[in-house]
Structure formats: C-alpha cells, structure tokens
Chains A and B, each alone.
Chain A
Amino acid sequence: MASSDTPVSRRLQSVKHIIIVLSGKGGVGKSSVSTQLALNLYQSSPTARVGILDVDLTGPSIPRMLGLDGQGVHQSSDGWVPVYADRAQARLACMSVGFLLKKKGDSVVWRGPKKNGMIRQFLSDVRWGELDYLVIDTPPGTSDEHLSLLEHMAPVHSRLSSVIVTTPQAVALMDAMKCLSFTRAVNLPVLGLIENMSGYVCPCCGEISNVFSTGGGEEMARREGLKFLGSLPVDTELVDLLDASEMNEAVANLETNPVDGHTPEKTAETFTLLNRYSKTSSAKLFRNILNGVSVSLGETSESG
C-alpha cells in the first residue's frame, strides 16, 4: 500500500485540491455544506472545474440536493462518466451511489469491506478529468468510509484537506471533537470549522431563536486553535431549494417558458439551481466562508 503509483493516484493526478467534508455527528448539514462549497467554488471563476463525490453509501443525499435524482451513470471506455449538474458546460461533476440504485427507496445494506470496494471504485474508475477541486461528502462518524478514503488516497495525501461541520449544541460539538481527533490521528490538515444551524429567524416576527443554541462552534475553534470559517443560520429558503430541486427546475422551466413548459435544452444552459441559490441569504454568508477556505488552502499548500 506504500506504492505511490496506484489506480487511484493515476486517476487523481489531474485533481488539484481535494477537500473532505467531515462531521462526527449526522444531520448537521455536511451534504448541504458540501453542495454549497461546490457551488461556490464553481462560481469562483468561470473556468473552475469542480467535482463532488458522495461517499455516504447508505444514505446518499447529494443527488437530491443538486436536483439530480433519478439520473444514471454511463460507462465509457475511460471509466464511469460522472453526472454533470450544469449539463452542457460540464464543469460540475457529481458521483454518488444514489445514481447506481434502481429505485430511490432501495437500501444499500453493506458491511465494511463492500463499502471499501465501492469507494476504491469511485476514486479509481470515475472519469473526473481535469478538476480544480474535488469536494468529498462523507457519512457521519469515523469508521470504514473515512479510513478507506484516507487509505486509498494516501499517495495524494499532500493535496488533501478537510472542513469540519458542526451544529452548536454540546452533543454535536462532542462528536466534532472526536472528528478533530481523527484528523490529527491521520495527519489530515483542517481548513477550518463551520457552525451550521446557529439560530433561526422567525418568518413572522423576525425574532432569532437559537433552536440548537449558538456560538459553540466558534468557542471550540478558539480552544482547539482551528480557523473558524463562519456560522450559517437555519435558512428555510435554502432547505426548500435543496430539498425540492427537481420541482424548482420544473417551476423555473415554466417561468422561462410559460407557453411550452417542455424545453429542457434551453434551460439546461442556465443552471437554474445556481441562479436560485445565489439569491438565498446563505449564499451571501457562504462567500466569506469560501474566502476563508481559499486562504487556508493557500496556506496548507505552501506549508505542504
């Protein structure tokens, strides 16, 4: 396993930065942060090429969030072709086990070794092409998937970094701490910590409620000497957008073409999800987070 020339390293040769999104706890928003990170990186330059890999094998959410539910993966002579969220422009590539299931209700009941094999295939057999960033969304915990990822990507370790997502309550912070211990144990650089779901703005009176308390993430970052990238409040607009992407697509189709709602070719070029995302309040907050990520990326690649 010490050999530096493996199918995975050959395949990932053309990927500049690999960012792993981690959190010890489930349901804190790893997938939504991964999606936002990918969208923002995509937007950061008109030529940026971004990949997003979902290694949450038993609960893939990325296809839904990008509005790609029901899409399939094609086989080419050069490996699996990822699904492109921006269709024709082909700058936002996505791969998830969700694309390989027949029905969305099918469960993937796999033990560790099978998950390990799938991850190896995702890393070595997907035709990512040239990528500036590969964002990897992980399942909760510090187990098979995480160990497999790190093991298979050992030859490209110098290009790896991670972002930790947490929510503000003590229960989640404890798991985030475990996650941080994990990154230290495997020598994975941490770009910073994001606090998600800190506060909720009542749509009726504008009062901010701390549904899951607040400030815990910043406090933890300070204590552990991590960079605090920012906090994101609960944004119902974003929840709606990511939860019902296909419907939005349909609505947008109707909006752009009220007479004939059936012109997928035309709307495909505009990438409606991104347009709608740019209008949410989270998008504005995430720009600062992206700046923080870019600065940290610069630092880690210099020191590494």
Chain B
Amino acid sequence: MVQAQNPAADVPDNAPEHCPGTESEFAGKSAACDGCDNQQICASNDPKLPDPSLPFIRKRMANVRRKILVLSGKGGVGKSTFTAQLGWAFAADDQLQTGIMDVDICGPSIPTILGIAAEQVHSSASGWSPVYVQDNLGVMSVGFMLPSSRDAVMWRGPKKNGLIAQFLKDVDWGELDYLVVDTPPGTSDEHLSIVQFLKESGIDGAVLITTPQEVALQDVRREIDFCRKVGVRILGLVENMSGFVCPGCKTESKIFKPTTGGAKRLAEETGIELLGCVPLDPRIGKSADYGVSFLDEYPDSPASTAYLDIIDRIKEILAD
C-alpha cells in the first residue's frame, strides 16, 4: 500500500534532518540549514529551476485526450458531486476510458461519493495503480492513502504540491479519454500547481460550480479572475442547489435565493456560458453518502435531467 506520509517532495533526499524544504519560506534560513551544502542556493532568491517532474508529467499526460478541471471559489457547492456525476456519465460509454483525480488533499470526498472509501492504492512497476470503480473509471485520491478516514492531513502548500505532482507523474492512468480533476475551494496552492503542472500538456477547460447566493457568486467571480489570470479556458458555469422541490406539496422554493440575479446574471456580466441549473434534490446528498450513482438510481429526477443536459453540452463544447 502506498502511504501518504511520504517526506515532502521538495525536501531533497540528501538534505539534512529538519530541512524546511526548498520551496519553504525558511529555505536556507532555518537552523537546520547551517552546514548544508546547498544553503547558499536555497537562501538566494534566484528564480527556482523548472520542476524536474515536468517532463515525466508531460510523458504520462500524453496519453490523456481531455483534461477538465472542476473549480469553484466556494466550498460545499457540489464540486465533488458534480465531478462524480461527470465521471459516471463519461464512463457510461464502454468505449471511453475515464479518470478522476481528487486534488482536495485536506478534505477528499471523492472516494466516499464513488463508494470506494475502503480501497487502497497499490504500486506496481509502472506506477501507482488507480482504484477502479468500474472497468473504465479509475480514481486517485489522497483518501486512499490514509491509515484511517479519521486522520487529518495537516500539510502546508509545498507538501500538497508534491503529492499533486506525484498524482500526475506516478499514477499509471493508462490511455484516458477524459481526466476530470476535482479541486478544493479557493485559489491557492493546489490550483496553481495543477495549472502549472498541466500547462505543457494543455488543459481543455474548467467547469465552474456555484450556488445562487451572492456569497457564493463572489467567490466564483474570484475564480473566474483566477482562470483568466492563469489562462485556463472556462467551459461554463453550473448553478447547483437552485430551487428545492418539497416532497410534500411539490412546490418549488428557493433555499438559497439569487439576491443578485444568480448564476444567470453572472454569466451575462462575464460573457461565460451558463451550462445549466441543477435543482436541490435531497436524494443527491443521500446517493453521495452511500456512494451510488445518482444518475443510475433516480434517472427520472429533474436533477438527473439537468445533469445529463449539462454533460451533453460539455461534450458538445469539447467537440466530442
């Protein structure tokens, strides 16, 4: 079994004990650096050399046809759930190979949502083998590497970046038609790293998830700004949890009201396509908790229809 408690990727093998890591704020300045041969190099502010893992990532990613990021500035808006549905929908076609990569290092939800929380990652000569939900749907997440699901991953940025690089270069993804990347909320280390690592191989686009309230839209605006800054194409916006149908009286009400016009307004303002709105269905959360595919379980739910329309539209935009 591969354990997550590897040393930080930016601590060289020959570094002294307690090396703060070459990317760290204290690189070359901490007490442990005294006497290290490379102290001078670390302490100087010279631009860091290109990451040595880049050529390996490029080689591994050459076999992946489409790379899609699922982003949202805000947490808990349904990124992981959407990623899982997207993965399942792609994998419904036997001819296609799909991979899901979960780079939410501190709160990996993908294993639970896909019902493979108890699995482990095994390593072979060709690399770490992903966990397969079905023959053509492979998954990689830090959740498979923890001794127990209770354990917290208390890592700072450089260590998270190291693991993301490993996910891209050491995982034996094989030939993939789609690689869907689930991200944590925010615009920080994980996001910068994944974009940097995949720059040469090319990212086909990002899907931004939001909920209707202004508090969430604010964060999504920041994410749009981020995508534009780093040059990632935005495929479109998805509004999640828009409206709730009471199972008692079938009336639709808005739990999270679009006080400022919701995703529709945001889409108009920013010129980004609104891919669709998914209503809030309590069975979505249930399916995620039990690790079953919502699309298969409740194909007649309005939310399923919305999901499928959005996924069709994404395929259309990608011209597949």
B-contacting residues of A (Cβ < 8 Å)?
Answer: 24-28, 31, 56-59, 61, 64-65, 104-113, 115-117, 139-144, 146-147, 167, 169-172, 174-175, 177-182, 185-186, 200, 202-205, 207, 209-213, 234, 236, 239-240, 242-244, 247
Say yes or no: A171 contacts B154, CB within 8 Å.
no
Say yes or no: A202 contacts B248, CB within 8 Å.
yes
Say yes or no: A204 contacts B251, CB within 8 Å.
yes
Say yes or no: A112 contacts B189, CB within 8 Å.
yes
Shortest CB-to-CB span from B37 to chain A, Å, is: 23
Neighbouring B residues of A105 by C-beta, 8 Å: 218, 221-222, 224-225
Say yes or no: A174 contacts B112, CB within 8 Å.
yes
**Contact A147:B154 (CB < 8 A) given known A209-B282, A239-B256:** yes
Neighbouring B residues of A185 by C-beta, 8 Å: 152, 154
**Contact A26:B158 (CB < 8 A) given known A144-B189, A211-B255, A234-B255:** no
Which of B112, B153, B225, B286 lies in contact with A213, CB distance below 8 A?
B286
Which of A107, A116, A179 lies in contact with B223, CB distance below 8 A?
A107
Per the bound structure, the CA–CA distance linking A181 and B112 in Å amounts to 19
Q: Which residue of A lies closest to B106 (CB)?
A: A141
Per the bound structure, the CA–CA distance linking A57 and B157 in Å amounts to 14
For B182-200 the 0/1 string (1 means CB < 8 A from A) is 0011111101100000000
Which of B107, B160, B187, B247 lies in contact with A140, CB distance below 8 A?
B107
What are 21 A-B interface contacts by the 8 Å CB criterion? Answer: A27-B76, A27-B77, A58-B187, A58-B188, A59-B74, A59-B185, A59-B219, A108-B222, A109-B192, A141-B106, A142-B154, A171-B112, A174-B109, A175-B109, A179-B152, A181-B152, A203-B253, A204-B249, A207-B249, A210-B282, A243-B214
Say yes or no: A24 contacts B107, CB within 8 Å.
yes
Neighbouring A residues of B222 by C-beta, 8 Å: 58-59, 105-108
B297 interface contact, C-beta 8 A: no
Say yes or no: A143 contacts B218, CB within 8 Å.
no
**Contact A244:B74 (CB < 8 A) given known A58-B188, A139-B186:** no
Say yes or no: A209 contacts B107, CB within 8 Å.
no
Neighbouring A residues of B289 by C-beta, 8 Å: 169-171, 213
Determine the interface band of chain B, counting residues with CB < 8 A from chain A: 35 or more
Given contacts A28-B76, A111-B192, A211-B244, 14 further A-B contacts (CB under 8 A): A27-B77, A59-B73, A105-B221, A139-B185, A142-B154, A143-B160, A167-B76, A170-B288, A175-B107, A200-B244, A204-B253, A236-B255, A239-B213, A242-B215
Which of B154, B158, B260 lies in contact with A112, CB distance below 8 A?
B158
Neighbouring A residues of B132 by C-beta, 8 Å: none
Per the bound structure, the CA–CA distance linking A171 and B244 in Å amounts to 21
Per the bound structure, the CA–CA distance linking A24 and B112 in Å amounts to 15
Per the bound structure, the CA–CA distance linking A27 and B213 in Å amounts to 12
Say yes or no: B154 contacts A209, CB within 8 Å.
no
Per the bound structure, the CA–CA distance linking A239 and B180 in Å amounts to 32
Shortest CB-to-CB span from B127 to chain A, Å, is: 26
Per the bound structure, the CA–CA distance linking A185 and B151 in Å amounts to 10
Q: Which residue of B lies closest to A32 (CB)?
A: B215
Neighbouring A residues of B254 by C-beta, 8 Å: 236
Shortest CB-to-CB span from B156 to chain A, Å, is: 5
The winner among B214, B280, B282 for most chain A CB atoms within 10 A is: B214
B257 interface contact, C-beta 8 A: yes
Which of B113, B186, B213, B260 lies in contact with A171, CB distance below 8 A?
B113
Which of A64, A171, A209, A234 lies in contact with B288, CB distance below 8 A?
A171
Per the bound structure, the CA–CA distance linking A210 and B285 in Å amounts to 10
Neighbouring B residues of A144 by C-beta, 8 Å: 156-157, 188-189
Enumerate the 7 nearest inter-chain pairs by beta-carbon distance, A residue then B residue, closest first.
A26-B75, A27-B76, A112-B157, A141-B106, A207-B248, A58-B186, A105-B221
Which of A139, A146, A177 lies in contact with B150, CB distance below 8 A?
A177
Shortest CB-to-CB span from B263 to chain A, Å, is: 14
Shortest CB-to-CB span from B293 to chain A, Å, is: 15
Per the bound structure, the CA–CA distance linking A283 and B73 in Å amounts to 28
**Contact A107:B25 (CB < 8 A) given known A59-B186, A171-B109, A243-B214:** no
Say yes or no: A239 contacts B188, CB within 8 Å.
no
B246 interface contact, C-beta 8 A: yes
Neighbouring A residues of B221 by C-beta, 8 Å: 104-105
Neighbouring B residues of A107 by C-beta, 8 Å: 73, 187, 222-223, 225-226, 229
Neighbouring B residues of A204 by C-beta, 8 Å: 246, 249, 251, 253
Shortest CB-to-CB span from A217 to chain B, Å, is: 14
Per the bound structure, the CA–CA distance linking A239 and B155 in Å amounts to 33
Say yes or no: A25 contacts B107, CB within 8 Å.
yes
B149 interface contact, C-beta 8 A: yes
**Contact A240:B106 (CB < 8 A) given known A111-B189, A210-B282:** no
B24 interface contact, C-beta 8 A: yes
Per the bound structure, the CA–CA distance linking A227 and B304 in Å amounts to 39
